[in-house]
Every structure is written in C-alpha cells, then in structure tokens.
Amino acid sequence: MARRPDFGFELAAMARGASRVAGVDEAGRGPLCGPVVAAAVILDPGSVPPGLADSKTLSAAARARLSAAIRARAECGIGLASAAEIDSLNILRASHLAMCRAVAALGRAPDHVLIDGNMIPADLGLPAEAVVKGDARCLSVAAASILAKVTRDRIMVDLAQQFPAYGWDRNMGYPTAEHLAALKRHGPTPHHRRSFRPVHNIL
C-alpha cells in the first residue's frame, strides 16, 4: 500500500520551536507554455482536510474538492513566474522565484518552510528544509502540490479560450502530439517558453 503523507515534518519543526510551518510545492515545470505556479500552505493541525495526497495521484475532481477545502481551512499563498521569467532565468530558478513569491503571499512569514525537492531557494531568507518527494511524505507539501496544480490548470484553461488551437484545456501546455502539431502549424504564442527545445527549434 502506498505511503500517505503525514504531519511528522511539521511536528518536528514545532518541537524545535516553530509555530507556523509552511509547506511549499510547484506545478508546471515540464510544460512548453504558461507560468510555473507555486503554493505555500500553513495547515491548522486541528483542521487538516482528509484525503490530502500527492496531487499527481489524485483525479482532477478530487484535486478541485481538496483545493477548496485547503483554501477554507488553511493559510495559503500563490506565486507565479511567467514564461518570460522562465526564459530569462531558467526553469529551476523561475520555480524558486515562484516559491519565494508564494511564501511572501502568506502575509505573515512562517517560522519554518518545508520545500518539496532537494534544494532550498537561495532568496527565501527563512529557516527551511528540503524534503525529497515531500508531496508524498508531508501533509503541508501535499496540500501545496494540490493548490499549485489546480491553480495552474485553471490558468491554462483560461488561456485556452484565447488560443484554442493548442488544446491547453486538455493538455495543460504539456508537449502532447496535439500541442506539438498546433505549435508547428501556428507557431508559438506569447505564452510559450522560447528556451524550451520544441519551441526553440520551431523559432
């Protein structure tokens, strides 16, 4: 049976004196277009939405339901880095920029930050630890992964209304056959990441 995320990382930080512990994750590193979106979530230990898990293991309907529950019960911040920022910085640094913006959007700074992955953003400026596979191990990071994924998917659905040929409401900007065919036929939009090879090659 797959391991479910738990509150162990948060409790360990609280045992060291932290009272506000934020989980942070991002969505959208792999697509050819659109922003990379990060979320920061501070869960209330007494009101954790049931069913939190790595967003990749959940259906779209479950993610939408849990996203609403997270927003209702937790402190949340969202941060974006645009396609232009991705092109100028590179995707890793743009992801870290989005994470820093998500933490800043919480309003009041957390005492400790749990970052999904193996790197802490250089500009975070707060006590933090990297948690490899954090979205599968840590409830706050799992909540952030859900919020980031749902937010980004909604952005791509909105952008699909302006650029319907690319199927972004279905592929969310990932390099599917449909998306690549439309990219070759119509060329890149202002939302495409020009530094990504399939887009760069067409340019």
- What ranges do the domains of the chain cover? 8-161
List pLDDT tens digits, range 84-108. 999 999 999 999 999 999 999 998 9
DSSP string, 38-68: EEEEE--TT-PPTT---GGGS-HHHHHHHHH
Query: Domain 8-161 carries which CATH code?
Result: 3.30.420.10
Mean pLDDT of 102-126: 96
pTM across the whole model: 0.96
Torsion of CA 37, 43, 49, 54, to 10 degrees: 40
The whole-number pLDDT of residue 202 equals 82
The residue that leads in pLDDT, 203 or 22, is 22
Q: For residue 139, give the amino acid letter.
A: L
Which DSSP string corresponds to 143-156? HHHHHHHHHHHHHH
| Residues 19-62: tens digit of each pLDDT | 999 999 999 999 999 999 999 999 999 999 999 999 999 999 99
Q: Are 25 and 116 in contact (CB under 8 A)?
A: yes
Residue 3 has a pLDDT of: 73
Which pLDDT score is estimated for 203?
75
pLDDT at 2 (0 to 100): 58
Bridge-based pairing of strands 21-27 and 36-42 is antiparallel
Q: What is the DSSP letter of 122?
A: T
Strand pairing category for 36-42 and 75-81: antiparallel
Per the prediction, the chain carries an average pLDDT of: 96
Strand partners, 128: 113
Query: Residue 71: which of 98, 106, 97 has the closest Cα?
Result: 106
Q: Token pair of 190, please? A: 């202002």
